[in-house]
Structure formats: structure tokens, C-alpha cells
Chains A and B, each alone.
Chain A
Amino acid sequence: MKYSVDENGFYGKFGGAYVPEMLYPNVEELRENYLKIMAEPDFQEEMQSLLRDYVGRPTPLYFAKRLSEKYNTNIYLKREDLNHTGAHKINNTIGQILLAKRLGKTRIIAETGAGQHGVATATVCALMNLECIVYMGEVDIERQAPNVARMKMLGATVVPATSGSRTLKDATNEAIRDWINNPEDTYYIIGSVVGPHPYPDMVARFQAVISEEMKAQLLEKTGSENPDYVVACVGGGSNAAGAFYHYLDTPEVKLVAVEAAGLGIDSGESAATSVLGKEGIIHGSRTLLMQTEDGQVTEPYSISAGLDYPGVGPLHAHLHQSGRAIFESITDEEALQAVLELTRLEGIIPALETAHALAAIGRLGAKPSDVVVINLSGRGDKDLATYLDRFNLDGK
């Protein structure tokens, strides 16, 4: 496949494993084993049965009738919000926890932004009876309180990241430092298609179930496996990687990656990496990165904790640079409007991250005969406090 990772861990010129020597043995152990373990029949069997009976897969592909009428096209929602724990994140944590167990690891660490990956990690750790430590930026701990409570309820230790912008980037730094300090017993479950090779490829493979199901469901509902558009939000890019995966080499399917513009691309308060980023290295990967002229990583901004990241996965950097995917950026305000729109038209409250994908529908130029799939990556329960406040629904 043209867009899959090469044998050195690169997507075009992006990717690789730029890690300090302290992490080399861990990353190397994973690189040598991930494909082998993932191909083992008993691994597949255990994973498939958990995805089916525990996560609730396959998730439905729902034809959103009223939303389609509004935009005069055919919109399907891939309901990842209906997964156990409320987002696509658990597809990956199920896969990685099974891998960690087979590598004999006893202590699990993770980073989280919106808290969805943290919750999904804490959940599988409870299920597998493994110690779980989740790093989360101090700012995010505040704005995603329900998920912090859920992680604690599940028995995880939530450690605040207090450096830098105190968001996802800094939580990732702290998780990597923990891994350096605990190289033998610890497994790092990265939540997105970021980090050193093989993480981007491994996470994409675990999320690829999204587009695998989509194809079969679309065939049944529309008579074709291929939609005209697949739309997904991108922070690090894991739900987009999963939604795009089986369409990467099908050029007639337009792939639309939607980033967070924050207060606006030119406002200085944004997380739209494809527009504002330059080639660089973050978290062990060569990719597009928001940075100063001197190579210091810039503090991003988005109302959505899950998209508030200054980099993007190397696969997406490659899709952007090669023109395979269309990149859009959506402001906080546009995302909030999209939340209200989906809620009132379809009775589904989406996560703030997901709302960025929804807000891009009007920009597609989709025709009445077109089929548009939006990856509804997560539900909005965690964001209710923000919504009540921003929509003046809290009775104040």
C-alpha cells in the first residue's frame, strides 16, 4: 500500500523513531514484536471477542436523515460514540493491553488530553488487573473533570502534568519520562497515531476496524463499499487514521481531516498543525509541528482538549503533504454550533473533538447524490459543563 508505513518506520519523509537511547530497547522490543503478536490466532481471537462482547462492536453506521436534509446530501454517522467508555479510543487500548500482557509487562502508563484515552486505558487495566498511571495536563484535568472522576473510579492514578502548556503535549512528555524511569516492567499505551515507530502504525492498525466495518455497512446500505467523503477530526489523528485506513489506496474516496482552529488560524490561539506547522520532531516522530523559528514547540490552543496538540501523526503529515487528504480547520465557535445542530437534529450529543468534523460538512461541497461518512468519534458527556455554560443552559 502506497500510504502505509515503510520498513524503516516512515510515511514518506515523516515518522521514524527519534528517541533517546534510554528508550531504544523498549521501542525496539515493540517494533520487533508487534506485527508478530498481532498476527497470532489467539491474540486475534481474544481481541475480536473483547471488541464484540465488551466494547460493543460493530458500532452502527447510522443514516442521519434530518442532518442529510439540512445539507442536501447523504450523511452517515459511524457511531464510535456508542463504544464502551464513549469513544473510539478503546479500540486501541484493548489491542495494546493484550500486547502488553504478551510482552510480560505489569505496569501500564498513558497520556490523555480529553480524558477519553485515559478512561479507555484505565478501563482495560481494571479488566486485566494491571496497575495504571495516567498523565494528564493540569488544564485538562480542570476542563474534563468527569473523565478524571471516571479514571479514579476505575482505580487509575491520575498524575497532573504541570510543565509547559499543561495540556496533552506535556502529559505525553511526562509519560515518556516515566517510561525512561521504568524501562523493564512498564508498557506505554500511546493513545494516538503519534510517537516513535511502531506506535503510529500499531495504533492505526488497531483503529482500522472503524473503516473495515464501514465498508461492509456501506455496501449493505448504499450498494457500494466506497463513500464519496470520509470526514474525521484530527488532533494526533487516531480516529481519522482508523476511518481512513482501508480507503487510503482508493483515491476516489475523498478523505477529509479536520483540525482545531481554536480562536482562528491567525489568532495565535490555534491547534491547526497542517496550516501552522513546519517539519520537525516531537515525541519521537518526524512530523509537522507548530514551533518557533528557533525550533521551540509552540503552545497550541483549542477549546477541545483532545485536539489541543501542536503536532499531528506522521501518517497525516504525509497525507497532507501528498495531497491525499483534504485538511480543514474549524474554530471553537463553529464546533460549538455543530454540537447544538447535531443534538437538536438527531438527538445525539457529540464530543467537542467530534464536533469539529461535523462542522466541516458545509465546506465539503457534497452533491445531493454523494455519500458522506462522518466518524462520530466520541460522545459529549464529558463536555456537558462546557456546553451548559456556552449555550446558557445552566439556568444562571
Chain B
Amino acid sequence: MENRIQQLFAQKPQGLLSVYFTAGFPNLEDTVPIMLELEKNGVDLIEIGMPFSDPLADGPTIQQSSEVAIRNGMTIPKLFEQLQDIRQHTQIPLVLMGYLNPVMQYGMERFLQKASELGIDGLILPDLPLSDYVREYKALFERYGLSNIFLITPQTPEQRIREIDTHTNGFIYMVSSASVTGSTTGQSVVNTSYFERVNGMGLRNPGIIGFGIHNHDTFTQACNHASGAIIGSAFIKALAKEGNLHEKISTFIQSIRQNEIA
């Protein structure tokens, strides 16, 4: 059976906008309102960040939002409580993203079961090794109908990309360049040779480009080389500004899409 991620890519193979935010930031109870605003503004996929004290793959923006969220009282049980009725309000594909340790403490199977009950479609755990996933968890993910999304980078060897492609069933998260999240030092995210190399491999999973996508230009460039793009840090910066959620979110998403039809 297809989950919402797989359905999304089947229906809309291009120009997807996926947005990441840290649950519990800026305020503890903002999680669901942010999700509903994102959907209203034509976002295609939502990644809900589960804050961790030591987010190794993240730059300062997500680190700080995580610190605030933890201080606000965000925990996995709290997040699950907030998402209790979410499927009565939206059918947008939902991915939970976080680090392995908090999930381990909650208990992997218990976590997957609960996520599945709530209508979550996939997970991104950047520090869960592929080998551990295949050996210990893949069968559980499949049992609960959850996609496990893996990252690849310009340095990932072809053979490993193929291995990842074999074991995942949602999309492949193409990290645009060697960096932690939130880096906007490069004017362009177009690492054309890397994207073309991956596109030429004939993978069964679609790809979405993330890391460093922060405005209309970088979003459009990424969309020219993949099914879509993921924006995280730039959105969190927008959320951190003054103003109400509705305005901040619609202004931001419009600035990304501009005149494109969502």
C-alpha cells in the first residue's frame, strides 16, 4: 500500500516544496498551527523536526531553534500528543526528522507504532546508519508503513547510493553540498555534475535537494535538478521574526514560490 509520500511523487513529480521546522519553536503549541498554515500556502510535504540537544548535522539556526524548543518543553511524548488528531485536519505527507538518541530512549518500535497510528508517513534519522537500519529496523518500518528517508551527499559513492536506493521507499534526500544545514555561503546550490550523476543513475526513488536552499533562486535551481527542494533554516529564521504565524508563513512561502503555480 502506498503512503502519502509515495502518492505525492506519483501525482506531482516536479517542483515540490518541502518545509522543515522545529517542533516547539518559537512557542511550544505552534506545531499544529504552523503545519496548517504551510498546507494552506501550498507546501507539498512537511518535515517536523524533533529537537535534540546535540544536533551534529545542523548549523546555528536549527541548533538555536532546538534549544528554544527543548526549553519550551518539547519532547517526543508532547509532540505525539499535539499530533493526536492531525489526520482529521490535513492529509499533507508528514515526515518526522530527528536524531537517533531521543528515539532510542522512547523505544524504536514503540516510536514507529505511535507514528504510524498518528498518520506519519516517514522518518529521517540522519545518524541511523544504513547497515543498522537494514539489520535491525527495516522490517519494523515496513510493518508500520513508514518510509525511512536517507541522505546522500556529493561525496557518497555510486555503489552506496544504489544500496540506499534499494532500501528506501519514499525519496532520497540529496544534500546539496558538503555542509551542515543553514549554510548560504554559496550563491548557487547547483552542483550540476553531482545532480546529473545521480539523475543518470536511473534510481527507483525520486530525489529532493536540501541544505542551503533559502530563497526563490536557490529553490528554482534545485527544482531544475530534482523533484523538489527542502527549506529548513531559512523558514525557521522567518518564524523567528516578529508578527503572527499566518503572515510570516504566507509571506515566506510566497517569496519562495513567487509567481509559480503551487
In chain A between 6 and 58, which residues have their CB closer than 8 angstroms to a CB of chain B?
16-22, 24-25
A22 near B103: Cβ-Cβ < 8 Å: no
Q: Does A116 contact B (CB under 8 A)?
A: no
Query: Closest residue of chain A to B57, judged by CB?
Result: A20
Cβ contact of B183, chosen from A173, A181, A278, A283, cutoff 8 A: A181
- Mask, B208-223, CB within 8 Å of A = 1, is 0000000000000000
With A21-B156, A177-B56: A295-B179 Cβ-Cβ less than 8 Å: no
Q: Which of A100-108, A236-244, A286-294 contacts B (4 or more CB under 8 A)?
A: A286-294
Cβ contact of A20, chosen from B54, B56, B76, cutoff 8 A: B56
- Mask, A173-208, CB within 8 Å of B = 1, is 100110011111000000000000000000000000
Q: Does A282 contact B (CB under 8 A)?
A: yes
With A282-B101, A295-B103: A22-B54 Cβ-Cβ less than 8 Å: no
B156 near A24: Cβ-Cβ < 8 Å: yes
With A16-B132, A280-B104, A293-B105: A22-B52 Cβ-Cβ less than 8 Å: no
- Mask, B27-61, CB within 8 Å of A = 1, is 00000000000000000000000001110110110
Query: Closest residue of chain B to A296, judged by CB?
Result: B53
A295 near B156: Cβ-Cβ < 8 Å: no
A295 near B102: Cβ-Cβ < 8 Å: yes
* B-chain residues with CB within 8 Å of residue A279 when the two chains form the complex: 104
Q: Which of B112-120, B122-130, B234-242 contacts A (4 or more CB under 8 A)?
A: B122-130
Q: In the complex the two chains form, what is the Cα distance from A282 to B126 in whole Å?
A: 13
B75 near A294: Cβ-Cβ < 8 Å: yes
With A281-B101, A291-B101: A176-B63 Cβ-Cβ less than 8 Å: no
Q: Does A250 contact B (CB under 8 A)?
A: no
A25 near B155: Cβ-Cβ < 8 Å: yes
B56 near A182: Cβ-Cβ < 8 Å: no
* B-chain residues with CB within 8 Å of residue A283 when the two chains form the complex: 54, 56
Number of interface residues of A (CB under 8 A): 34
- Mask, B63-104, CB within 8 Å of A = 1, is 100010010000111000000000000000000000111111
Q: Does B151 contact A (CB under 8 A)?
A: yes
B175 near A280: Cβ-Cβ < 8 Å: no
B59 near A177: Cβ-Cβ < 8 Å: yes
Q: In the complex the two chains form, what is the Cα distance from A163 to B178 in whole Å?
A: 22
Residues of A within 8 A of B (CB): 16-22, 24-25, 163-164, 169, 173, 176-177, 180-184, 278-284, 289, 291, 293-297
4 A-B pairs closest in CB distance: A295-B102, A295-B105, A20-B126, A21-B151
Other than the given A183-B178, A284-B127, 7 more pairs (CB < 8 A) read A19-B56, A163-B60, A163-B67, A281-B104, A294-B76, A294-B77, A295-B103
Residues of B within 8 A of A (CB): 52-54, 56-57, 59-60, 63, 67, 70, 75-77, 99-106, 126-129, 132, 150-153, 155-157, 160, 175, 178-180, 183
